[in-house]
Chain A
Amino acid sequence: MRWFWYASPQTFYPLAGKLAVAGGLAAAVLAVVGLYVGLLVAPTDAQQGEAYRIIFIHVPAAWMSMFIYVVMAFWAGLGLAFNTRLSGMMASALAPTGALFTFIALWTGALWGRPTWGTYWVWGDARLMSELILLFLYFGFMALHASIEDPRRADRAAALLALVGVVNIPIIYYSVKWWNTLHQGASVSMTAAPKMAATMLAGMLVMALAFWAYSIAAAMLRVRSLIRERAA
């Protein structure tokens, strides 16, 4: 079964290098296309005017902040169950990128909120609160891992934290449905037709792919660094 062919850090190392290059190139191209569509092609919004264009950063970043956490928890869980070294390294490699996108989502959200809602932030809104908790989970994961000397034990402890925090992801996603929130509901979902013009949606999707490609590149570079560190 070729499942475990790349489970060896040494075997995965060169593949990670190739993925990093491919991811970086794809991210650059997709970002240019995405920003072109978002800033120059997509029409102005009837309600918000030009201010809405921050959506092309905010939403893809928010999507990645949630997606990366799930992937990170997946690797962490796998490492915990199967005692595989590379799985734990993958989780650690993903955390900083996940934290970055969470921060970008919160920051761009605040900048967007001021001219539209009338405030940078509100305490008590379920979407905002749960996304902030996600940032703390990422920081907690990284801090916990850094505080434990032995890398394998650090992997296991941080993995437990990652797994416990996974319950926050559906809370973030469904927050606007389950509770009364200031944050609006989903414009794009898997069950309903999109509530936005086609070019706007296209721009958002291309930017999401760009961020995804970037995340792969960043994680691959980081995991290579971890492989080198731990091989010594």
Chain B
Amino acid sequence: MKPRHKRLLAILGGLAALGAATALVLSAFQENLVFFFTPTQVAANEAPKGRLFRIGGMVEKGSVRREGVEVRFVVTDTARTIPVVYRGPLPDLFREGKGVVAQGVLNADGVFQAREVLAKHDENYMPPEAAHAVEAAQKAQKTVVK
């Protein structure tokens, strides 16, 4: 075949090989590429001990308590929960029932001592009226199911 078709094939082949290599490298490094651990992973002792790491999940409803400078809350992934204690400013979007990512250390009693708490928001964007409608619909559904 013509030299330029050979070059094209070589480039496409090279790209395919590069893609495959990257996929393999990424899958091999999966465990080390963790940005945050879920409560389930922390409960299963998958998180590093004695080292700073991040935990991510949802703030359990009704779990936020402020005791002076300290604030305590519970992070859940609907399967397991981890209690968190934190001193410091909380982001505006920190809410019960919403996402959170905290960085800190897990102490001996299984309480996560956070040094930094970040709010994680979801990808939904809607005006307040729509949000109220969604909430009302969810409440209505729960009543019907019961």
* Chain A residues packing against B (C-beta within 8 Å): 43-48, 52, 55, 77, 80-83, 115-119, 122, 124-126, 163-164, 166-167, 171, 178-182, 184-187, 195-197, 200
Extra inter-chain contacts (5) besides given A118-B119, A119-B116, A195-B124, CB under 8 Å? A43-B127, A117-B119, A117-B121, A163-B14, A164-B18
Q: Which 5 A-B pairs have the closest CB atoms?
A: A118-B91, A46-B131, A43-B127, A81-B8, A196-B125
Q: Which residues does chain A contribute within 8 Å of B110, judged by CB atoms?
A: none
Name the residue of chain A whose CB is nearest to the CB of B10: A81
> Which of A178, A182, A196 counts the most B-chain CB atoms under 10 A from its CB?
A182
Residues 1-46 of B contacting A (Cβ, < 8 Å): 4-5, 7-8, 11, 14-15, 18-19, 22, 26, 33-38
Is the CB of B120 closer than 8 A to any CB of chain A? Answer: yes
* Interface, chain B (partner A; CB < 8 A): 4-5, 7-8, 11, 14-15, 18-19, 22, 26, 33-38, 54, 56, 89-94, 98, 101, 116-128, 130-132
| CB neighbours of A200 from chain B (8 A) | 125
Question: With contacts A44-B127, A115-B92, A180-B38 known, is A185 near B15, CB below 8 A?
Answer: no
A151 to B4, CA, bound (A): 20
Partner of A180, one of B56, B90, B125: B56
Cα–Cα, bound, A196→B126 (Å): 6
Cα distance A47–B118 in the bound complex, in angstroms: 15
Question: Among the listed A77, A125, A181, A187, which residue makes an inter-chain contact with B125, where contact means beta carbons less than 8 Å apart?
Answer: A187
22 pairs of residues in contact across A and B, judged by CB atoms under 8 Å: A43-B128, A46-B131, A47-B121, A52-B125, A82-B8, A83-B4, A116-B91, A116-B93, A117-B93, A117-B119, A118-B91, A119-B116, A124-B35, A126-B35, A171-B22, A179-B35, A180-B56, A184-B122, A185-B123, A187-B124, A195-B123, A196-B125
Separation of A48 and B37 alpha carbons in the complex (Å): 25
Check A180–B34 contact: CB distance below 8 A.
yes
Inter-subunit contact A180/B36 (CB<8 Å): yes
